[in-house]
Amino acid sequence: MYFCTIRMKGKVYKSTGSWYIVRAQDGEVWNARIKGRLKIDEQISSTNPVAVGDSVIFEPEDPAVHTAIISEICDRHNYMVRVSPHNPSQKHIIAADIDTALLVASITEPRTSTGFIDRFMVTAEAYHIPAILVINKIDILKPKHRQILEEWTDIYTRIGYEVFPVVATDAATIGSLAARLQGKTTLFSGHSGVGKSTLINQLIPGIGIRTNAVSGWSGKGQHTTTFAEMFDLPGGGCIIDTPGVKEFGLIDMEQEVLAQYFPEMRNVMAGCRFNNCQHINEPHCAVKQAVSDGTISPERYANYMAMLDSIEKEW
């Protein structure tokens, strides 16, 4: 019987829920699992104690077949969470130690709502992670859709977000995005069917991630990515691909601070009469005035109000 005596450090490249693919510092790949009491940050309670992107300490279990035991999670630089897809009262760590959070959206086939986009952006803001919006499938846009593209681009660039309109099947359209991702660890998220896997296949030639067409009868995407997985970019950097999500639920977010995660609101709220203004119906509210003036997008404000309603206030 082999006894664990060697402690090694590596990074989690894939999570299947019970097994993890870990790449050691020497480049060797190990199939690892958790056993016994894992040393973790007790303040982070989630359905998945180990996430893709985590640096971990592991001990070889059977070197002949490269199996190992994860015994410790190293301190995280950051992480990003959403509501667990299996339990609405619990959080799920999407990825850890990331430089950028990238959302792939599409205006049609399937349509991504601005509510979904804003929940993603708010979550990235809450965890102090720069966010990027990629709008895919611009080659199939009709005139009415092109107007939406112009509106989205204007709304999000005006408040400081980078927006990249692309055609994932056309490498010529993704050059500036590819340059932006170099040397960074980037989380990729989005609805199923928006072209996330196709885009990654363009950014990493030869990787061969499976893709599916959007379902014709529903207009919705079909799941192609089952588990979160990290891939190395040519020239440096990594992409963390995640399963397509229907909704991006907020968790551990309080009503009182939600507006802080909207950059355009954060920039004007000092002008509100009340320090605890929630920008609903309070008098002399600088945020509501900015909405009236057109400085703040009415659609973004409506999404803010919808998020307020969805958050259960903690007393």
| pLDDT averages per 10-residue partition of the chain, 315 residues | 72 90 95 75 68 95 92 92 75 92 96 95 95 97 96 97 97 95 96 93 86 44 61 95 78 90 97 95 96 96 95 54
The contacts of residue 250 (CB under 8 Å, 6+ apart) are 82, 83, 119, 122, 123, 307, 310, 311
Which pLDDT value is given to residue 212? 57
CA angle 167, 170, 172 (to 5 degrees): 105
Helices (H), 104-174: 114-126, 143-158
Q: What is the pLDDT of residue 111?
A: 94
The pLDDT value recorded for residue 221 is 37
Which structural domains are found in the chain, ordered by start?
A: 8-73 (2.40.50.140), 79-241 (3.40.50.300), 255-310 (1.10.40.50)
- DSSP per residue over 171-215, as a string? GGGSHHHHHHHTT-EEEEE--TTSSHHHHHHHHSTT------PPP
pLDDT of residue 229: 94
Query: What pTM, to 2 d.p., does this model score?
Result: 0.88
Cis peptide before 110 (omega within 30 of 0): yes
| pLDDT recorded at residue 29 | 95
Are 85 and 48 in contact, with CB atoms under 8 Å apart? Answer: no
Q: Which two tokens stand for residue 70?
A: 């994860």
